[in-house]
Amino acid sequence: MQERPRPARTVLTHREPAPLVWLWAVRMEQDLLVQGRKWWFAEFMDSHDPAEPTEPAEIQADNRGLKRHLENEPHDNDVAQRLNWLRAGVLGANDGIVSVAAIVVGVAGATAATGPILAAGAAGLVGGAVSMALGEYVSVSSQSDSQKALIEKERRELAEEPEEELAELAAIYRDKGLSPETARAVAEELTSHDALAAHLSAELNIDEAGIVSPWHAAFASGVAFTLGAILPMLAILLPPPDIRVPLTFAAVLVALALTGALGAWIGGGSKSRAAVRVVVGGALALAATFSIGNLLGATGVV
């Protein structure tokens, strides 16, 4: 029987979806990409007749291990993406809830009039959203510029000193425990496939496709802050004046517990510990601003 040609080994990569703003949409897109990758790999494995293996047993075992890895184990890019969402999304919403709630509760402690509460809350919402977006843009721009500079430096070194870079990559894998011969073979194979990606991953832990857009991050933070700030605004303005403050306290603390647990779930941490942490912090902020507003209102300063 004529031996069928061996299929080319395919290296599966994960690219972080671009924008950072739509939290659930991006997570759904990520799941679809991962499921598609699993389906492709399953189709590739099933297309080979077990009775007529086209690859050695060792390679078949590696393929089965890779399949289990894709199905069951987290990936570095997945973790990095979750942490980015945690920072830009959930924390932005938490800031919006606490900041605007503290403002409107403080004003409500000084006066029962709806006008001053609405004006202060609206100013806090707009100013906080702009501040969050600007701060996120500056922060992510600096990080992105540094990463791009490192990528260009590595690309230039690969073009000017390929042998030295190959030796450096082999040395990295020797330091990780591989024998000199194996480390050299790994470095050569990775370099032949994608030299830049191999060096960025091994030396700098950077994924060229995973650089975050500062505009996306800024928009995500601004929107998250705004969505979080809407809750205390509604809670303080809609109820009657005699119950608006306690109702705002309750609504804000429940929302903080939910967002804290959500952030812990995204990051893989303890949901109860995160919820308690943000609830305690939010309660202290509300109590402090309400006490100050009440004191100023009682003394006739405002």
Q: What is the pLDDT of residue 280?
A: 95
Q: What is the pLDDT of residue 291?
A: 94
Cα–Cα dist 223/267, whole Å: 20
Phi, psi at 73, each rounded to 5°: -115, 145
Mean pLDDT of the chain: 77
C-alpha neighbours within 13 Å on the C-beta side of residue 44: 19
Annotate 250-275 with three-state secondary structure: HHHHHHHHHHHHHHHHHHCCCHHHHH
Q: What is the pLDDT of residue 225?
A: 94
DSSP state of 242: T
Residue 271 has pLDDT above 50, yes or no: yes
User: What's this model's pTM, rounded to 2 decimal places?
Assistant: 0.65
Q: Which of 207, 293, 174 is CA-nearest to residue 18?
A: 207
Residue 100 has pLDDT above 80, yes or no: yes
Q: What is the pLDDT of residue 178?
A: 86
How confident is the model over 10-59, as pLDDT tens digits? 444 443 433 433 344 445 455 544 555 555 445 544 554 444 445 555 45
More confident residue, 73 or 18: 73
Q: Which of 64, 65, 14, 53 is CA-nearest to residue 35?
A: 14
Tell me, what amino acid is at 104? V
Give yes or no for a contact between 216 and 21, defined as CB atoms under 8 angstroms apart.
yes
Give yes or no for a contact between 190 and 160, defined as CB atoms under 8 angstroms apart.
no
How confident is the model over 39-53, as pLDDT tens digits? 544 554 455 444 444
Q: What is the mean pLDDT of residues 134-146?
A: 89
Q: What is the pLDDT of residue 148?
A: 87
Q: How far is CA 78 from the centre of its chain?
A: 9
Residue 3 has pLDDT above 50, yes or no: no
Give yes or no for a contact between 208 and 200, defined as CB atoms under 8 angstroms apart.
yes
Percent of the chain past pLDDT 90, that is, above it, reads 33
Q: What is the mean pLDDT of residues 71-96?
A: 65
Residue at token pair 């939010």: 282
What do you get for the CA distance between the two ends of the chain, in Å? 95
Q: Which of 257, 232, 253, 276 is CA-nearest to residue 90?
A: 257
Instruction: Read off the tokens for 289.
Output: 């601003």
Cα–Cα dist 62/129, whole Å: 49
Other CB atoms within 10 A of residue 28 CB: 12
